[in-house]
Amino acid sequence: MRNLNYKTEYQKLLTPEIVSYLAQIHEMKGQQNLFAEAQKEALLELLEIARIQSTEASNRIEGIITTDDRLKKLVMNKTTPKSRSEREIAGYRDVLNTVHENYDFIPIRPGMILQLHRDLYRFSNSAIGGSFKNADNVIAEELPDGTKRVRFQPVPAWETQEAMETLCRAFREASEDPELDALLLIPMFILDFLCIHPFNDGNGRMSRLLTLLLLYRAGYFVGKYISIERLIADSKETYYEALQDSSAGWHEAASDYLPFVRYMLGVVIAAYREFDVRAALLVTKHLSKPGRVREIIRATTGRITKAQIMAQCPDVSQKTVERALTEMLSSGEIIKIGGGRYTSYTWNWEKE
């Protein structure tokens, strides 16, 4: 197992781009905290939507799916799981709730991570929950022709316990240094966790739950109201590219955290920006549903797709969104870009 020296690696990350990302997130964190204090009741709606989207997206990345109706009932604990996929979805729901409600009391230690993994599989018939892997595993990708290619060879099974102890200790020690920003340490920890790949199954879902846990413990609560898992799922290809770029040379301590850190900071910024839009819509709830679609596009810098619009207002039907888009295109308020599956829209500022 390689040594982990976060303080040394941290200094390499302080590029002008990364420092700019940190400054943006710190500012947006303060703005969100002020809004949360003033609009606690209004944010309950965002919290419930995010719980559903997070549970759906994190499982969907791993190919674990069910119908929208069943998913909602499972997340709201109004039904019992009927299939293997639904049992794993229910487990994710429970661990997500644990992280939301008890983050301050979940220390970053191997034993605690094992407990979270145990609960992830609490409804499963499998015995793998709560134990580190007992056989070597690989991170592979499926090519278009159906063949699989090994992308990364994680830490062998016999080294896993020691590797997790080293990882958690290195993170705790780095977190105690006031000069080191948690926003950089968190993706460094998650990258190393994924390179260790400590479980037979559930590593990806655990990495996303740990991301939320670490963000909450550091005072960044945007993931409660905007699904970070959904943002990752929506940019899955970029996520895997960043992971691959940063994991190359990991065993030889020659890897570069920067691509993965840059990606994760971008996801956090995207979450805060979406929070600003959604929070503004909550304050102006007197708007009609087409009016809310209009304000989402107007508040978006650059382009936005129909799917992204629907993600920001999940209570608005697809037909209503499409009708609103048609009306705004007819009036010239928005501009259509591209066509087919690549269609997006932008606000026509020339009409202002």
Please compute Rg for the chain using Cα positions: 21
Over 70: is that where the pLDDT of 50 sits? yes
Domains of the chain (ranges plus CATH)?
A: 6-280 (1.10.3290.10), 289-351 (1.10.10.10)
Task: Give me the percent of the chain exceeding a pLDDT of 70.
Answer: 99
Helix (H, G, I), strand (E, B) or coil at 150: strand
Over 70: is that where the pLDDT of 319 sits? yes
The pTM of the full predicted model, rounded to 2 decimals, is 0.85
Q: What is the pLDDT of residues 20-30, one digit of tens each?
A: 999 999 999 99
Position 316 scores a pLDDT of: 85
Range 247-253 contact pairs with CB under 8 angstroms and sequence separation of 24 or more: 247/151, 247/152, 247/191, 247/194, 247/195, 250/2, 250/152, 250/192, 250/195, 251/2, 251/153, 252/2, 253/2, 253/3
CB 163 within 8 A of CB 157: no
Position 161 scores a pLDDT of: 97
H-type helices in the chain, by residue range?
A: 6-12, 16-38, 43-61, 68-75, 84-102, 110-120, 160-175, 182-196, 203-217, 222-225, 228-234, 236-247, 258-283, 289-299, 306-312, 318-331
How far lies 63's CA from each of 72, 86, 238, in Å? 17, 12, 18
Please give the mean pLDDT across all residues of the chain: 92
Please tell me the distance from the alpha carbon of residue 87 to that of residue 79, in angstroms, as a whole number. Answer: 11
Task: Give the mean pLDDT of 269-277.
Answer: 91
Say how many C-beta atoms besides its own lie within 10 A of residue 206's C-beta: 23
Q: What is the pLDDT of residues 134-180, one digit of tens each?
A: 999 988 877 777 777 788 899 999 999 999 999 999 999 999 999 99
Convert 316-335 to b/e letters by CB count within 10 Å (16 or more is b). beeebbeebbeebeeeebbb
Q: What is the pLDDT of residues 86-116, one digit of tens each?
A: 999 999 999 999 999 999 999 999 999 999 9
Position 284 scores a pLDDT of: 64
**Strand (E) or helix (H) holding 344:** strand 344-347
The lowest-confidence range among 30-39, 63-72, 89-98 is 30-39
